[in-house]
Amino acid sequence: METKPSYTKANRIDKRFSFQGCVVVDAIGRSGGLMLMWKEESLLELINYSQHHINVRVSDEPGNNRWLLSCFYGQPVSNLRSKTWDLLTSFKPEVGGWGVIGDFNEVLYSDEKEGGNPRSESLMRLFREVLEEGSLYDLGWMGNKFNWSNCHEDDSFTRERLDRAIANAKWKTQYPVHTVETLPTICSDHSPILLYCSIERCSIQRWHHFSSMRPAGTMRRVAVRL
């Protein structure tokens, strides 16, 4: 896919929401595609990216509380998913906080899916093992548990919890107040999720907002606002 269409969309979003920073990874056909956008005052440093991730270093203020943010898109083809799990675990930092947000294309447990064929227990177990290997914890949700559906209006209706935010213990200690909210669906089969996290200092909370959303079309977008 040529980069021009995606960057055209990125520029349009930039102007509408006044983002100053942007990284775009194009989709391949109707699969994947990533976009990370941030405000000028955000302290983000791009580390690396691929078809399935964007890694940035985030700071609360210059030189302080630096942590790794991984925006992630899991392999949609089940027999290839282990490759993106290997990619994800390779990001695990030796020290410091680590947060991951995105569409993992997998569920952790069978109760995270309703309708359709049951999920493979072995694939769900592998996903749980990936989180254990990365010392990552699911940050839960507020609102609708399910953030993807096939949008069918008959007995084949299926919904799942494919998008989530996860983090290591250091990140959870750094941001003791955090919430993942499922937002209403707009022209998509995915509902956006919004991660709120704050640091309490002298009774003043500084809130950070991270969202994972799939807009209409084929492009995957992860927007970051600090």
Per-residue model confidence (pLDDT) at position 25: 86
Beta bridge partners of 71: 54, 101
Write down the residue that tokens 């949008």 correspond to.
151
> Rounded to an integer, what distance in angstroms lies between the CA atom of residue 135 and that of residue 215?
31
**What dihedral do alpha carbons 8, 222, 103, 175 form, nearest 10°?**
180
pLDDT(166) > 50: yes
Per-residue model confidence (pLDDT) at position 212: 62
> Rounded to an integer, what distance in angstroms lies between the CA atom of residue 188 and that of residue 59?
32
Question: How confident is the model over 177-217, as pLDDT tens digits?
Answer: 899 999 988 778 999 999 988 876 433 344 455 556 544 33
Number of other residues whose CB lies within 10 A of the CB of residue 45 = 10
The pLDDT confidence band at residue 3, using thresholds 50, 70 and 90, is: very low
> Rounded to an integer, what distance in angstroms lies between the CA atom of residue 203 and that of residue 224?
25
pLDDT(4) > 50: no
Q: What is the pTM of this model?
A: 0.84
Per-residue model confidence (pLDDT) at position 49: 94
Question: How confident is the model over 131-165, as pLDDT tens digits?
Answer: 999 999 999 999 999 999 999 999 999 999 999 99
Beta bridge partners of 24: 35
Domains, the chain, in order of start with CATH, read 51-208 (3.60.10.10)
